[in-house]
Chain A
Amino acid sequence: MKILNFFKQRTSTAPVARERLQLLLAHERAVSGKSDLIAILQEEIMAVIAKHFPVEQEGITVKMERGEVVSTLEVEVEIPTPMCPSFPLPANSAPSDPSEPVSIEPETKMARTGS
């Protein structure tokens, strides 16, 4: 098998290098100069949420994930349940705790975009 591999034409790796670089640099150039974009987003989103819920600075995470075709921006906000005002949930997400019929999941996740 090893001998067979020796005679087999090795596949080119340079085109892979080129494609990876093109994809990566297209992204890096877009965010260069505003490398703290995520931090700014986090701050601004935080300010909006804070108008309606009492949230802590650590309770919010903003993540950017890059895919080949679609990239996702993930925003996760943690709100202490007692602070959370009651509002009706969509039908498919039934409350997990039967003792609190109108309440929300213990750790409320909201404003979640992408996957």
Chain B
Amino acid sequence: MAKVLVVTSGKGGVGKTTSTAALGAALASAGKNVVLIDFDVGLRNLDLVMGAERRVVYDLINVVQGDAKLAQALIRDKRVPTLSLLPASQTRDKDALTDEGVSSVITELKEKFDWVICDSPAGIERGATLAMRHADVAIVVTNPEVSSVRDSDRIIGLLDSKTERAEKGERVEKHLLLTRFDAARAGRGEMLNVGDVLEILSIPLLGIIPESSEVLRASNLGSPITLNNPASAAARAYFEAAKRLNGEALDVTIPIDRKGLFGKLFGRRAA
């Protein structure tokens, strides 16, 4: 049975697109059929993070409006054959997305894929509400920082009220993905710790992604971190999160990058 997953956050810049790419690639590498949909109409970036920006011909809006068939718009990943991308339109605005159009695209995708992953735009406007509308599962991406936590709380409220499931009286399965976490700073009391964020938001923890220079390195190259450097701490955390999404009961760990002496001395500055 296909599952529709929304990756959302409210606040921008917390790692929704990075996490969508990383988790999508991790799930696809494990043999699942995965499609990633970019809902950020006008400000698309998932194509860039996935390294597919030069392969975009048709987009979500073309499909919604019937100008292109779904099969024409889907871009199959060159590295993982079970991974596809449906890009957003860069030129149109969000009003071009209709509830019925999105609904029919998702219904069609659910027949072909195991996971339909919707990369939500920031904010709580139309694009964000449409991205979460049909979700069975939601990942709330949060940084250990006050504004991100507040916005996540708001998004959790919307997941409980504005989704199709909520309107039918059912629940959207919600998970917290804590990104850009720095265990050392949290230990020194400079950063909200995992317990603080969990207690405030009270949704189950899917994973903790440590702050890592490897994340930027991967996006520079247009490759999800789980493909670009699977051994890195952040990638291992994403692989663990993907396993939990597939129903495996694993303890949440905070992977750390093993550094040599040189890395220990200069690691903070290297990017």
Residues of A within 8 A of B (CB): 10-15, 17-18, 20-22, 24-25, 28-29, 32-33
Shortest 3 CB-CB distances between A and B: which pairs? Answer: A12-B189, A18-B196, A14-B189
Contacts of B189 in A (CB 8 A): 11-15
Query: When each residue 160-199 of chain B gets 1 if its CB lies under 8 Å from chain A and 0 otherwise, what string results?
Result: 0100000000000000000000000010111111001000
When the two chains form their complex, are residues B157 and A13 in contact, meaning their CB atoms are under 8 A apart? no
Residue B243 CB within 8 A of the other chain: no
Interface residue SS majority, chain A: helix
Query: When each residue 64-91 of chain B gets 1 if its CB lies under 8 Å from chain A and 0 otherwise, what string results?
Result: 0000000000000000000000000000
When the two chains form their complex, are residues B150 and A17 in contact, meaning their CB atoms are under 8 A apart? no
Number of interface residues of B (CB under 8 A): 17
Max chain A CB contacts within 10 Å: which of B146, B157, B186? B146
Sample of 12 A–B contacts (CB below 8 Å)? A12-B189, A12-B190, A13-B189, A14-B186, A14-B189, A14-B192, A14-B193, A18-B196, A21-B149, A21-B150, A29-B153, A33-B157
Tell me the total A-B contact number using a CB cutoff of 8 A.
42
When the two chains form their complex, are residues A32 and B157 in contact, meaning their CB atoms are under 8 A apart? yes
**Additional pairs, 10, CB under 8 Å, beyond known A14-B190, A14-B192:** A12-B188, A13-B189, A14-B186, A14-B193, A18-B200, A21-B146, A24-B150, A25-B150, A25-B153, A32-B157
A14 to B196, CA, bound (A): 9
Contacts of A15 in B (CB 8 A): 189
Q: A17-B146, A18-B200 are in contact. Are A32 and B154 (CB under 8 A)?
A: yes
When the two chains form their complex, are residues A29 and B190 in contact, meaning their CB atoms are under 8 A apart? no
When the two chains form their complex, are residues B188 and A25 in contact, meaning their CB atoms are under 8 A apart? no
Chain B residue with minimal CB distance to A15?
B189
Contacts of A21 in B (CB 8 A): 146, 149-150, 200
User: Closest Cβ of chain A: how far from B68's Cβ, in Å?
Assistant: 39
When the two chains form their complex, are residues A25 and B146 in contact, meaning their CB atoms are under 8 A apart? no
Contacts of A25 in B (CB 8 A): 150, 153, 200
